[in-house]
Structure 1
Amino acid sequence: MEPDLGSAPTTASALTSLDLGDDFGWALGVLLRAHRDRVQEAIGDFPHGPRGYETMAEVIRGTQPSQLALANHLGIDRTVMTYLVDDLEADGLVERRPNPADRRQRLVVATPRGQEVISGACSRVVAAQDLVLGALDPAEREALRRLLVKAAVGTGGDVDDPCEVADE
């Protein structure tokens, strides 16, 4: 059964008369592609690219109690997460340690080198994000960031800012 489109335009000429400036999906897509490209440039040859950066930033936050929890939080398949952490460990950015609360689990912990590398990467990512949002003044950028996080949390998503370090 097809959905009732009501008075939605069905011809090419009717579609071209739409104002894409009000198209939320289009705007998000443009921003996401620009963000992806700028962040990729900003982090350079970081192991596993943006996925590795996001993983490393989450490790620094220290909020996930195990490698599996880390994979679930980031939406990364657990087998892929194993290879990703292996590569971060081979680069001296993280190490696996037994979890004192549950010896069956392995904690992924940032090394001092990993902390240094992610600190520099976070600074570059924030600068890249500011470039993507260059059409907005600083107050508008902050408002947009707050509203995006609020909307994301409203979906029930697990949202954290990867550049904010958990209080120790």
Structure 2
Amino acid sequence: MSSTSPEIATRGARGVEPQAASGAPVEADLGWALGVVFRRYAKTAAAALEGLPGGPRGYQVLATTRAEGPKRQLDLAAQLDVDRTVMTYLLDDLEKEGLVQRRPDPADRRARLIAPTDKGVETLCDLERRLRAREDALLGILDESERESFRAILQRLAMKANSIDPLHNACVLAEAEDPAST
């Protein structure tokens, strides 16, 4: 019986620590550490966004339209890598909750501009606070200066990685069964 898993031992009755195929403890493996932290972050972020239509995608719509101003529905769908039919349903749900509004584009009355409502901006601010609190809990082992350093270093790494291999929609990665394939 052969295994392609990098883990050659497991915790259990023997009390053996997981090890990579190289013999180094898994805890020393950057990929393992990033995966564990990302998995925990994804779960805690999903809990913070609970109740928001579309969850992470709804959050992206609110955050993008607040930061960048009103956007055409099709442009927003393309930017967030959301199928335009799915975007229509998502916007329907966000609009029903009073979080976004669709209005005619003055440059092309056939197109619709999507903008957050006042309630949408308030909701986004609340979601940002909830996410930050959950991030702080996740990073609770670090003191405040370490958290800020970690965030800054991680942001630099992410910006560099994204410049080499752009990912326009983090939801694609978060929802992928095999994140390495995106």
RMSD in angstroms over aligned alpha carbons?
2.5
**Secondary structure at the residue paired with 2:71?**
coil
Greater CA drift, 137-146 or 123-132: 137-146
1:28 matched residue in structure 2: 34
TM value normalised by structure 1 = 0.76
Q: Say if 2:121 is the partner of 1:121.
A: no
2:45 matched residue in structure 1: 39
Q: Contact 2:7/2:26 (CA < 8 Å) preserved in 1?
A: no
**Secondary structure at the residue paired with 2:153?**
helix
Q: Among all aligned residue pairs of Structure 1 and Structure 2, give the percentage whose two residues are the same amino acid.
A: 42
Code of the aligned partner of 1:31: V
Q: Say if 2:74 is the partner of 1:74.
A: no
For the residues of structure 2 that align with 1:24 and 1:105, how far apart are their CA atoms? 46
Greater CA drift, 39-48 or 60-69: 60-69
**Secondary structure at the residue paired with 2:103?**
strand
Q: Structure 2 residue aligned with 1:18, among 16, 21, 24?
A: 24
Instruction: Give, in angstroms, the shift of residue 84 of structure 1.
Output: 0.8
| Unaligned stretches of 5+ residues in structure 2 | 1-5, 10-19, 169-182
Give structure 1 regions of 4+ aligned residues with deviation exceeding 6 angstroms: none
User: Structure 1's 139 and 75: CA in aligned 2 closer, same or farther, altered over 3 A?
Assistant: farther
Q: Contact 2:69/2:115 (CA < 8 Å) preserved in 1?
A: no
For the residues of structure 1 that align with 2:87 and 2:105, how far apart are their CA atoms? 18
Deviations along 1:42-93, one digit per CA (max 9) or x if unpaired, are 2221112222122222222135632222223223222211211111011111
For the residues of structure 2 that align with 1:135 and 1:64, how far apart are their CA atoms? 39
1:151 matched residue in structure 2: 157
Q: RCO greater where, 1 or 2, for CA within 8 Å and sep 6 or more? A: 1
| Unaligned stretches of 5+ residues in structure 1 | 1-9, 160-168
1:60 matched residue in structure 2: 66
Q: How many residues align?
A: 150
Code of the aligned partner of 2:52: F
**Secondary structure at the residue paired with 1:15?**
coil
User: Structure 1's 11 and 132: CA in aligned 2 closer, same or farther, altered over 3 A?
Assistant: closer
Greater CA drift, 81-90 or 67-76: 67-76
User: Structure 1's 142 and 62: CA in aligned 2 closer, same or farther, altered over 3 A?
Assistant: same
Q: Structure 2 residue aligned with 1:135, among 134, 137, 141?
A: 141
1:3 matched residue in structure 2: none
User: Structure 1's 67 and 148: CA in aligned 2 closer, same or farther, altered over 3 A?
Assistant: farther
